[in-house]
Amino acid sequence: MANHLRFVGRTVMVQSGGVEAAYGVLNRMLAQDGVAEALRRSRYYEKPSRARRRRAFEACRRVYCSEMARRIAFLARTTRQDPWPGC
């Protein structure tokens, strides 16, 4: 069942001969999943020390991006009170 869901999740329907548009959608889906980057990375041998550094960098980047998204959402919320009422 899991293999079937994974296949359905990456299926792109071609409408009225629009192969180029469907190809673009498929490439975007694969880029979001990281498939192309994983293929590029596995093309050559990656030393274990470099792999550790890359994984550590990616983990730090995930933490940083999630923290910044949280801060931006906090500042952009619509229900916050006016810090300077009456100005």
Q: In this predicted structure, what is the pLDDT of residue 72?
A: 93
Q: In this predicted structure, what is the pLDDT of residue 2?
A: 55
Q: Name the one residue in this structure whose structure tokens are 């959608």.
A: 25
Let me know: does 22 contact 14? Beta carbons within 8 Å. yes
- CA distances 11 to 18, 23, 38, 39, Å, are 15, 11, 20, 19
Q: In this predicted structure, what is the pLDDT of residue 5?
A: 62
Count Cα atoms within 13 angstroms, Cβ side, for 20.
0
Could you state, in order of their start, the residue ranges of all structural domains in the chain? Answer: 19-77
What mean pLDDT is predicted for residues 14-30?
87
The CA distance from 31 to 37, in Å, is 7
- pLDDT (tens digit per residue) in 23-67: 898 888 888 888 888 888 889 999 999 999 999 999 999 999 999
